Amino acid sequence: MTEPLDPYASAALRELATRGFIEQLSDAAAIDAALATGPITFYIGYDPTAASLHVGNLVCIMAMRRLQRLGHRPIVVMGSGTARIGDPSGKSELRKMLDPDAIASNVARIGQVFGRFLELDGDAAAIVVDNFDWLSGLGYIGFLREIGVHFTVNRMIATKTYRDRLDAEAPLSFIEFNYQLLQAYDFLRLYRERGCTLQLGGSDQWGNMIAGVELIRRTGLDAAGPAHCLTFPLLTTTDGKKMGKTEKGAVWLDAAMCPPFDYYQFWIGCDDGDVRKLLAIYTDLEMDEIDARCQVQGAALREVKALLAFEATKLCHGEEAARAAASAAVQAFGAGDDWSAVPQVTVATPNVRLVDLLVDPAVAAFPSKRQARERISGGAVKLDGEPCREPDRELRAEQFTDQCVRLQVGKKLRLRVVLGGSP
């Protein structure tokens, strides 16, 4: 943790520090000086191991956004190359190898996200590069001679990433062991070719990042001076859980995988104690305003949460979608009647048993019919506001007012069940 006791000279570090972005700095004074002197180029890498980024990745993205707004130039590295290796950081076992087609399609989908958070034009335009471009052509012997010589196994196995695995006596495959070298090499390439002097990442990346810093120092500095790295804290909620996970899994940034309505609801549902922290990291609001808004206590905090949800949704899905999600929330959870913006599922025929509907993957309210039955009998389900405790009840055509039945499951799930042909 960094001591913010004596304020940083650079606006960038001051802002990151006051908003809660900083966990560790490789050399606080040097980074501060570099950021204060003028625009620098920095990068963050993402391995395309899933079809979408999720809220957990958003900390880094927001940090890039902050720095870019202060004039610094972001580079996003898509890790098509490193994704073929697999980062063992934070993983207790070897993950299955991703096939190249999956990686390529992930890259395409993930790439769309950055445009929403970063400026792609102007003096500090963000650029996106792919490390497969330089990693794929590496020759084994050449790489070992040029890069491998600068690493000692002694040092590597001392880093947390590898240490954890070894301490747990879990297998650490040789391919994974190489991951750190490749990430360090990425940094070196970006340093040499694009003058990139700072790498950002989650705190689990510290070992990999510092390896790059050291590699650059050992292979010889150029005019850009020493390279540095900075990590962000792993965000947890007040009750100690990982940020961005819900019972249904990760909260994705891709609208196809997590509709704006659900995304908005995720923020609305946050713990009271987290509101200020979340506003600082996930919105563009000024800290003065955040502090002022967070003065309130109790039920009044709901308004602040609505602000958080709106701002966060706006950044990710646009202002229009955020407004729609906000008003849909008021309608669906308040006394309102207009569910038009609530996510929908389509059924081909009205005669669907309630259990079958709730277990259907499109709804996925419950993992099994058995559980669905139990919950339905327990009063968890409402149709058009009316509790329905009969699992085997079928929906009837006449229930569909305007082709639609309003389904509530538990406190949070709201869906419109729409009668229609195509899905």
Partner RNA sequence: GGAUGGGUUCCCGAGUUGGCCAAAGGGGGCGGACUGUAAAUCCGCUGCGUCACCGCUUCGUAGGUUCGAAUCCUACCCCAUCCA
> Rule CB under 7 A: which residues touch RNA?
169, 239, 241, 246-247, 265, 268-272, 297-299, 301-302, 305, 329-330, 332-334, 355, 359, 366-371, 373-375, 378-380, 409-413
Helix then strand count (H, E) for the chain reads: 18, 13
Nearer to RNA (CB atom), residue 2 or residue 246: 246
> With contact defined as beta carbons under 8 Å apart, do 184 and 147 qualify?
yes
Nearer to RNA (CB atom), residue 189 or residue 416: 416
Alpha helix positions (H), 136-274: 140-146, 153-156, 160-167, 174-177, 179-194, 206-219, 260-268
Residues recorded for the chain: 423
In angstroms, what is the minimal distance from the CB of 228 to RNA? Answer: 37
> With contact defined as beta carbons under 8 Å apart, do 309 and 326 qualify?
yes
Distance between CA atoms of residues 251 and 322, nearest Å: 16
In angstroms, what is the minimal distance from the CB of 369 to RNA? Answer: 4
Please enumerate in sequence order all residues whose Cβ is within 8 A of that of 345, keeping only pairs 6 or more positions apart, or say none.
360, 362, 363, 415, 416, 417, 418
In angstroms, what is the minimal distance from the CB of 325 to RNA? Answer: 9
In angstroms, what is the minimal distance from the CB of 384 to RNA? Answer: 15
Nearer to RNA (CB atom), residue 220 or residue 334: 334
> With contact defined as beta carbons under 8 Å apart, do 363 and 345 qualify?
yes
Nearer to RNA (CB atom), residue 185 or residue 366: 366
Nearer to RNA (CB atom), residue 246 or residue 346: 246
> With contact defined as beta carbons under 8 Å apart, do 198 and 229 qualify?
yes
Nearer to RNA (CB atom), residue 29 or residue 292: 292
**Phi, psi of 404, deg, nearest 5:** -145, 140
In angstroms, what is the minimal distance from the CB of 203 to RNA? Answer: 23
In angstroms, what is the minimal distance from the CB of 235 to RNA? Answer: 16
